[in-house]
Amino acid sequence: MIGAGLTGLSTALLLTRDGHRVTVLDRDPPAPAPGTAWESWHRPGVTQFRFAHIMLPRWHTLMRTELPGVLDRLAAAGGFAVNLAGLLPPEVRDGGRPDDDRFDTLTARRPVLEAVLAAGLTVRTGVAVAGLEVRDRHVTGVRLAGGDILTADLVVDCGGRRSALPAWLAAAGCGAPAEERDDAGFVYYGRHFRGPRPPVRGPLLQHHDSVSVLTLPADNDTWAVAFVASGHDRPLRALRDPDRWTAALDRYPLAAHWSAGTPLTGVDVMAGLADRWRSLVVGGEPVATGVVAVGDSACCTNPSLGRGAAIGLLHACTLRDLLRETEPAEADKLARRFAERTAAVIEPLYRATYWFDRHRIAEMEADAAGVTYRPDDQRWAVARALYVAALSDPEAARANLAISSVLATAPEVLAANGLAARVSAIAGGVRYPMPGPDRAGLLAALN
């Protein structure tokens, strides 16, 4: 296993539980105890290590059924248990529904999460993989930076967004993986706080004129707040400054109180985040056998929807299930089947997220230019209508939560009971009705 990030650790735990002998390698330092992870763990291998993270209900559901011990340890480490339907305003919560427990989750700051996952495993840390050992396009192991070689029946690449897998395959004379890549163009301006946890007064992801605001509760009375904007939006780069960041947040009545805590960080900025889909089977032929890519190495998406851990865990379960019926020795079959199942289970989630990203970034950029965004794609109008209807209608709220929790796809929920027509009627063409400044008001706050 190359990489002990969120997906790498989860994959290793799943495979170990099934009786596989797993060696996990990571170039970063070892995990400290969860209680000191935020302060003491330096993790250059994961750029987003100190950024806002939420674990979505799909992640929680999978963890509960597949690795329940992780949830017990996370709760003991101060993880924040929350039901997302329970955060809806009373009139939308509507007394609760019998199946609202599907929106349960348990979440924490990223370092705490990873330290909890790592506590269940032995990870060989401070070990950088430098290449693959390959014979006749079959990967037989990895070469470490010091020159040592480790052999393996199967190499699982969980090297994340910046995985060097394509370069390693090329260096070994294998073909290039199929790859689609598009810089989503978003930039994140995020901070963490500690204090009495702020009450939730609006959606955790609030869309406004040219920005979105993320408010994410986390472990041990901490939380994160982030502005999401277009990387091309120069005036909003003022959000790098903590005072201006706070002045801007103050203009959003449903989120302003989320800065009333002790700041744990200044403003952390992250940009250049591509949506990328990678497949190791090209034109029906594996570019190499004996190696698979799982998690962000195979598929990474814009993080404002918070889907990476859920998709990664689902991908890890897909590999685990395949290995229950296919031996690594059946190398060609394993490579093809994993690609097929990844295309069936993971690709639709990737496509849906990518679709959202393209529209939302175009909408933000149109806002910044003072133009109304009106794409031909009718599905975008329906998606926006669902977001608006979810603010007041109990059924629309559950449908919206099911999509954002990665429990269902938009076509699945919108097909039910004529919901698409209903949400359009409820929304009545209104865009994002939550209180907050228009573009001029936001710029005034920043200046």
Q: Please, are residues 260 and 110 in contact by the beta-carbon 8 Å criterion?
A: no
Q: Which of 51, 58, 52, 60 is nearest to 106 (CA)?
A: 60
Q: Is 188 in the site for ligand FAD (CB under 6 A)?
A: yes
CB-nearer residue toward ligand FAD: 389 or 402: 402
- Range in contact with ligand FAD (rule: CB under 6 A) among 43-51, 81-89, 413-421, 425-433: 43-51
Angstrom distance (rounded) from CA 190 to CA 267 = 5
Residue with tokens 């019998």, as numbered in its chain? 98
Quote the least distance from Cβ 447 to ligand FAD, whole Å.
26
Quote the least distance from Cβ 4 to ligand FAD, whole Å.
5
CB-nearer residue toward ligand FAD: 205 or 368: 205
Across the strands, what pairs with 285?
282
Q: Is 219 in the site for ligand FAD (CB under 6 A)?
A: no
CB-nearer residue toward ligand FAD: 26 or 393: 26
Find the binder of ligand FAD among 108, 134, 309, 334 (CB under 6 A): 309
Quote the least distance from Cβ 76 to ligand FAD, whole Å.
21
Tokens representing 291 are 């190696």
Find the binder of ligand FAD among 46, 84, 211, 288 (CB under 6 A): 46
CB-nearer residue toward ligand FAD: 188 or 277: 188
Q: 161 to each of 158, 226, 360, 440, how far by Cα in Å?
A: 9, 21, 21, 36
User: What is the H or E stretch that residue 94 is in?
Assistant: none
Q: Is 256 in the site for ligand FAD (CB under 6 A)?
A: no
Tokens representing 398 are 């559950």
Q: Phi/psi of residue 51, each to 5°?
A: -95, 160
Secondary structure class of 323 (helix, strand, coil): helix
Residues 103-162 that bind ligand FAD (CB under 6 A): 128-129, 158-161
Quote the least distance from Cβ 1 to ligand FAD, whole Å.
9
- Range in contact with ligand FAD (rule: CB under 6 A) among 235-243, 309-317, 340-348, 423-431: 309-317
Residue type at 373 in one-letter notation: Y
CB-nearer residue toward ligand FAD: 6 or 82: 6
Give the HSE-up count for residue 244: Cα atoms under 13 Å, Cβ half-sphere: 13
Tokens representing 385 are 């209508």
Residue 428 burial by Cβ neighbours in a 10 Å radius (0-12, 13-18, 19+)? exposed
CA triplet 273, 114, 328: central angle to 5 degrees? 85
Angstrom distance (rounded) from CA 19 to CA 263 = 44
Quote the least distance from Cβ 332 to ligand FAD, whole Å.
25
Tokens representing 117 are 């996952």
Tokens representing 414 are 């919108």
Find the binder of ligand FAD among 273, 397, 403, 445 (CB under 6 A): 273
CB-nearer residue toward ligand FAD: 5 or 111: 5
Q: Is 217 in the site for ligand FAD (CB under 6 A)?
A: no
Determine the size of the site formed for ligand FAD (CB under 6 A): 39
What DSSP character marks residue 176? P
CB-nearer residue toward ligand FAD: 154 or 420: 154
Number of other CB atoms surrounding residue 401 within 10 Å: 23
Find the binder of ligand FAD among 2, 134, 386, 389 (CB under 6 A): 2
Quote the least distance from Cβ 362 to ligand FAD, whole Å.
20
Across the strands, what pairs with 107?
80
CA triplet 360, 365, 369: central angle to 5 degrees? 145
CB-nearer residue toward ligand FAD: 240 or 333: 240
CA triplet 427, 430, 436: central angle to 5 degrees? 120
Residues 392-431 that bind ligand FAD (CB under 6 A): none
CB-nearer residue toward ligand FAD: 26 or 363: 26
Tokens representing 81 are 């248990």
Site string for ligand FAD, 47-86 (x = CB under 6 A): -x--xxxx--------------------------------
Quote the least distance from Cβ 94 to ligand FAD, whole Å.
27
Quote the least distance from Cβ 66 to ligand FAD, whole Å.
16
- Range in contact with ligand FAD (rule: CB under 6 A) among 1-9, 73-81, 176-184, 370-378: 1-9
Residues 287-306 that bind ligand FAD (CB under 6 A): 295-297, 303, 306
Angstrom distance (rounded) from CA 55 to CA 44 = 22
Residue 73 burial by Cβ neighbours in a 10 Å radius (0-12, 13-18, 19+)? middle
Q: Whole-angstrom distance between the N-terminal and C-terminal Cα of the chain?
A: 49
CB-nearer residue toward ligand FAD: 87 or 310: 310
Q: Contact positions toward ligand FAD, by CB under 6 A?
A: 2-8, 25-28, 45-46, 48, 51-54, 128-129, 158-161, 163-164, 188, 270, 273, 295-297, 303, 306-310, 312
